[in-house]
């Protein structure tokens, strides 16, 4: 089944749409279309950013692997200072709260572009299934390359912006395109999954064996990411409104791909050479903040900055008290402004 959350005041017809099996992309698209006005009306600070003058566009395009990919762009009224390529996290999409993040960046003059990865959000594919992390990264590169060719983005500085798993994707994009980017903003990047989130060694070995035969099965034991990622109690309740995000146990192959990707990233930290802004909550127990510190220390870039926020959890831009969210945004905007050629 799908969302399994009962929302007060909505019709039985809408509730049935939300309760559908979200493994199929058509169910996810129906749910988002029916629910998006309710989503964007919740009392979250990200949705209080004025956006009347922003130019927003959604599109569906078939990529080179034959998958229909959803993407969205947010542009300021005037020519953008630079373009920011937003890479969302594992339990997220480029709609809902990412919408608020993009609006915030665009309100400061930045063009923002994002896509839902295959199997996530509104893009085609089995929900929450990553058969190959490397191919997913290639899908992101393909999309970014097409965007860079558009007249409105030509000759602009371009930055990667990755949250959680999106941080790992951004680092992998950089590894494949070491000279293609002017910098990267990494928010609680998934350079290593926190030890408490990984099953015991013996369980992991069993799951690796089973994954060869049942790669799509939702069998990996895990904790409630919403509880662990969001510090502010009121905002934790709002996470239920992210109705097309993947909320089940990780699929076997997906879990293995994420684990292997983080191990590879850990081995290649010295090759990170682009200007780098890393932001992480000290109390994050989803991705390991100590590894962000190691990334900062070992990255070969001479232009790098690390912010570690006292008491903050994993969802720095979505789940913290308002003053923390605004402070983190302030640090991001200041860094982008410093690295943008006028």
Q: Report the run of H or E that residue 74 belongs to, with start and end.
A: strand 68-75
Alpha helices, DSSP H, located in 193-285: 201-211, 225-229, 233-238, 252-267
Give the separation between CA 60 and CA 276, rounded to whole angstroms.
Answer: 31
Tokens of 139: 């899908």
Give the separation between CA 242 and CA 161, rounded to whole angstroms.
Answer: 20
Q: Report the run of H or E that residue 183 belongs to, with start and end.
A: strand 183-187
Say whether 314 is catalytic.
Answer: yes
Say whether 334 is catalytic.
Answer: no
Helices 201-211 and 252-267, packing angle to 10 deg: 120
Say whether 164 is catalytic.
Answer: yes
157 with 184: CB under 8 angstroms?
no
Tokens of 291: 């590894």
Indicate which residue of 123, 158, 164, 292 is catalytic.
164
Go through 183-211 and write b for each residue having 16 or more CB atoms within 10 A of its CB, e for each that does not. bbbbbbbbbbbbeeebeeeeeeeebeeeb
* Residue carrying the six token digits 């959680």: 164
Rg (CA), the chain: 19
Q: Report the run of H or E that residue 60 belongs to, with start and end.
A: strand 55-62
Write the Ramachandran bin of 66: left for phi over 0, alpha for psi from -120 to 50, otherwise beta: left
Say which residues have a Cβ less than 8 Å from residue 282's Cβ, sequence separation at least 6. Answer: 289, 308, 309, 310, 311, 312
Indicate which residue of 127, 284, 288, 292 is catalytic.
284
**Closest to 45 in 3D by CA, of 109, 114, 113, 104:** 104
Tokens of 317: 């831009």
Q: Report the run of H or E that residue 30 belongs to, with start and end.
A: helix 25-39
Catalytic residue numbers, as ranges: 164, 284, 314
């Amino acid at each position: 089944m799908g969302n399994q959350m009962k929302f007060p005041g909505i019709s039985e017809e809408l509730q049935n749409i939300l309760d559908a099996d979200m493994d199929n992309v058509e169910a996810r698209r129906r749910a988002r279309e029916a629910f998006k006005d309710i989503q964007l009306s919740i009392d979250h600070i990200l949705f209080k950013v004025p956006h009347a003058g922003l130019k927003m566009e959604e599109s569906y395009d078939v990529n080179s692997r034959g998958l229909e990919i959803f993407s969205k762009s947010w542009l300021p009224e005037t020519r953008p200072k630079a373009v920011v390529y937003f890479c969302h996290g594992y339990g997220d999409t480029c709609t809902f709260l990412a919408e608020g993040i993009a609006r915030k960046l665009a309100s400061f003059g930045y063009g923002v572009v994002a896509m839902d990865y295959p199997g996530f959000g509104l893009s085609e594919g089995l929900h929450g299934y990553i058969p190959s992390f490397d191919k997913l990264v290639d899908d992101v590169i393909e999309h970014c390359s097409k965007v860079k060719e558009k007249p409105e983005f030509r000759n602009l500085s371009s930055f990667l912006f990755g949250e959680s798993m999106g941080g790992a994707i951004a680092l992998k994009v950089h590894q494949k395109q070491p000279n293609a980017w002017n910098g990267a903003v990494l928010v609680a990047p998934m350079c290593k999954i926190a030890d408490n989130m990984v099953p015991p060694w013996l369980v992991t070995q069993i799951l690796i064996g089973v994954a060869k035969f049942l790669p799509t099965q939702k069998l990996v034991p895990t904790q409630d990411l919403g509880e662990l990622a969001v510090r502010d109690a009121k905002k934790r309740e709002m996470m239920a409104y992210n109705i097309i995000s993947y909320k089940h146990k990780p699929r076997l192959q997906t879990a293995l791909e994420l684990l292997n990707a983080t191990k590879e990233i850990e081995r290649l930290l010295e090759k990170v050479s682009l200007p780098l802004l890393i932001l992480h909550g000290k109390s994050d127990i989803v991705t390991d903040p100590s590894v962000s510190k190691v990334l900062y220390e070992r990255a070969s870039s001479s232009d790098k900055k690390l912010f570690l926020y006292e008491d903050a959890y994993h969802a720095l831009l979505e789940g913290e008290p308002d003053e923390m969210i605004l402070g983190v945004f302030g640090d991001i905007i200041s860094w982008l402004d410093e690295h943008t050629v006028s």
